[in-house]
Amino acid sequence: MRIVNPSFGLSATTAEKVALKPVNWATDAIALVSNSKPNARELLAGIRDKLGATRMIDNIDFLSKNSASQPAPADVIEKVAANYRGALLAIAD
Amino acid sequence: MKDISEQEVIDIGDMDVEAFNDFATEQGWGDGMPLFVPTEAKVAKFVETVRGDNRPIPPVPPRQVVPTLQSMAANAVMAGCKPEYFPVVTAALRAVLDPEYNLHGSLATTHSCAPVVMVSGPIRKQLNINCGSNCFGQGWQANATIGRALGLMLLNIAGAKPGEMDRSTQGNPAKFTFCFGENEEENPWTPYHVQRGFAPTDSVVTVMSGEGPHNLNDHGSTTGDGLLTTFAGSMATPGANTVYGKGPMLVIIGPEHAQTLKRDGYSIDSIRQELFKRSRIHISRISKENQDTYTSTGHMPDGDWFTIGRNPDDIHITVAGGPGKHSAFIPSFGGTSVSCVRIAG
Amino acid sequence: MIATETFKPLVLAQAKARKVEPRLIVVKHPIGGLNADELRERIEAATRGLTEATSK
């Protein structure tokens, strides 16, 4: 008996690798991006404070989604890509 | 040889229905209830009903795959649909793919939301979709299986596997199925799809990522004003996502409540205005920590009150159900929309 | 990316769909609902994870 696969679909994602520039986590500008769930920002703030013991933190900035339930807006993603070499995302529950 | 997941058609040899169900469970294709076998012949009958509807289907998140009409139809067959339901099922999938609906977020969230499917227009009668007594409940093949087919597509095509991509803390029985028809015949105002700009003769599917229906019981009030007091008091729930997610909600008014409101001069718009005003939640009913969370993400109170949506337009109103003094409030996931798609044909 | 152990399968499933390999720091679940004392342990663990991941 031949059946149709109910999960069949053509992948819309290309397997192309994005070329990443190397990040120097000891000096480069870093974005701390919260998903806007409770404690996500507090978690990132705690990490930022701890990093202060070993590096300058004036160029470590907080960014966040507008709402925990919605995707990050394009302007936030563009801002991260344009201004920071590294990003740390907190996906709090 | 290709992996099963990469094959559109699979030869499963000789299997009876029970063996097929065991096989489907192993593949992760089911919702826990028995499935019909999506044979090539059955699927072809379903696909035939949407020939001519050549609008492309965009990639379905979170899995980001583009389904074929065959794979979509396989889910409708498995759900127990009749072939003539398939145009409604495909319209429902198109509706949840509206970017404003936020399918990715609504499937991956810990919230209990499931797609609420409402059907409007002449097709309700053609397919015998229940719009009257017990319209949210059991007993009608079209209601039961159209909602179920969408749920199976979200599992199998979108990849919303419970515990993996679907992270709902408790889920919701509506994840099995939640489909009903508008009771346009007993709606003293304008049918919902006409409110949204469609012609009365159009058949339309409306979807919202919502909770199950919260009952609004009011046997005592004899005025529209009294009914709105009950409705608004019941809608003012601090635990609803919409309090801080600021999204849409449905108020499905039972026909008898609708008659009382109409008699007292209320329109859809004035009901919306009154409910928005009266359903605000006093800050004393919201914990300090939650207030801080809301305000830190831009959801500010209006004086000492949090509103349950962004504005009165977040309250979407129509009529469904049969005799009795009950209506229903269905809050949404929050970051979602009430999306409508005309059913082809 | 920092995620709790409970949500690791979600992150991996979504990454697979997008054909990306996230650099993941996994901490104990939950994050939400913790008070400042309880959250301190998560901050320590996440900072440790970040230091390890970025020193490779």
Strand intervals (E) in B126-171: none
With cut-offs at 50, 70 and 90, classify the pLDDT of residue C20: confident
Chain C residues 2-41 within an 8 A CB cutoff of chain B: 7, 9-10, 13-14, 17-18
Other beta carbons less than 10 A from residue B275's beta carbon: 23
User: Which residue from A minimizes the CA distance to C1?
Assistant: A89
Contact A91 C42 (CB under 8 A): no
Q: What is the ipTM of this complex?
A: 0.95
% of chain B residues with pLDDT over 90: 93
Minimal CA separation from B45 to chain A, in Å: 13
3-state secondary structure B288-330: HHHHHHHHHCCCCCECCEECCCCCHHHEEEEECCCCCCEEEEE
Contact B64 C17 (CB under 8 A): yes
The reported pLDDT for the residue numbered B211 is 97
Write the pLDDT tens digit of every residue in B176-193.
999 999 999 999 999 999
Q: Which amino acid is at B202?
A: D
Q: Which of B183, B208, B203 has its CA nearest to residue B342?
A: B203
Contact A36 B297 (CB under 8 A): yes
Say how many CB pairs under 8 Å bridge A and B.
120
Query: What one-character-per-residue DSSP string does A20-67 give?
Result: PPP--TTTS-EEEEE-SSTTHHHHHHHHHHHHTTTS--TTEEEEE-S-
Structure tokens given for B250: 């449905």
Contacts of C44 (CB under 8 A, 6+ apart): A50
Minimal CA separation from B84 to chain C, in Å: 33
The reported pLDDT for the residue numbered A15 is 64
Where on the phi/psi map is residue A36: left (φ > 0), alpha (ψ -120 to 50), or beta?
left
- pLDDT higher for A19 or A38? A38
**Which residues in chain C have their CB less than 8 angstroms from residue A20's CB?**
none
The reported pLDDT for the residue numbered C16 is 86
Q: Is A52 part of the contact surface with chain C (CB cutoff 8 Å)?
A: no
With cut-offs at 50, 70 and 90, classify the pLDDT of residue A92: low
Contacts of B49 (CB under 8 A, 6+ apart): B83, B84, B86, B87, B345
User: Is the preceding peptide bond at B255 cis, omega within 30 degrees of 0?
Assistant: no
Minimal CA separation from B310 to chain A, in Å: 13
Contacts of B291 (CB under 8 A, 6+ apart): B283, B301
User: Average pLDDT in the B206-216 region?
Assistant: 97
Q: Which of B147, B156, B171, B144 has its CA nearest to residue B25?
A: B156
Q: Distance between CA atoms of B225 and B240, rounded to whole angstroms?
A: 24
The reported pLDDT for the residue numbered B303 is 95
The reported pLDDT for the residue numbered B13 is 96
The reported pLDDT for the residue numbered C14 is 86
Contact C2 A37 (CB under 8 A): no
Contact C14 B62 (CB under 8 A): yes
Return the exposure string of B158-176: e unless at least 16 CB atoms fall within 10 Å of the residue's CB, then b.
bbbbeeebbbbeeeeebbb
Q: Distance between CA atoms of B219 and B224, rounded to whole angstroms?
A: 12
Phi, psi of B250 (to 5 degrees): -105, 140
User: Average pLDDT in the B253-270 region?
Assistant: 98
- In a 3-state reduction of DSSP, which class is residue B26? helix
Phi, psi of A4 (to 5 degrees): -95, 135
Sign of CA dihedral B13, B15, B20, B26: negative
The reported pLDDT for the residue numbered A17 is 67
Closest Cβ–Cβ partner in C3, C4, C39 for A46: C39
Q: Which amino acid is at A6?
A: P
Q: Distance between CA atoms of B254 and B20, rounded to whole angstroms?
A: 42
User: Average pLDDT in the B295-318 region?
Assistant: 93
Q: What is the mean pLDDT of chain B?
A: 96
Evaluate whether B222 touches B274 at the Cβ level (below 8 Å). Answer: no
User: Average pLDDT in the B102-116 region?
Assistant: 96
Q: Which amino acid is at A87?
A: A
**Which residues in chain B have their CB less than 8 angstroms from residue C18's CB?**
64
Closest Cβ–Cβ partner in A15, A37, A93 for C29: A93
Query: What one-character-per-residue DSSP string does B115-127 give?
Result: EEEEEESTHHHHT
Minimal CA separation from C19 to chain A, in Å: 6
With cut-offs at 50, 70 and 90, classify the pLDDT of residue B5: confident
User: Average pLDDT in the B240-255 region?
Assistant: 93
**Which residues in chain A have their CB less than 8 angstroms from residue C18's CB?**
13
Counting as contact any 3 or more CB pairs under 8 A, the partners of B are A, C
Contact C30 A51 (CB under 8 A): no
- The pTM of the full predicted model, rounded to 2 decimals, is 0.94
Q: Distance between CA atoms of B322 and B230, rounded to whole angstroms?
A: 19
Phi, psi of B125 (to 5 degrees): -75, -40
Q: What is the mean pLDDT of chain A?
A: 90
Q: Is A53 part of the contact surface with chain B (CB cutoff 8 Å)?
A: no
Q: Is A71 part of the contact surface with chain C (CB cutoff 8 Å)?
A: no
Angle, CA A48 vertex, CA A46 and CA A54 arms, to 5°: 120
Q: Distance between CA atoms of C14 and B84, rounded to whole angstroms?
A: 34
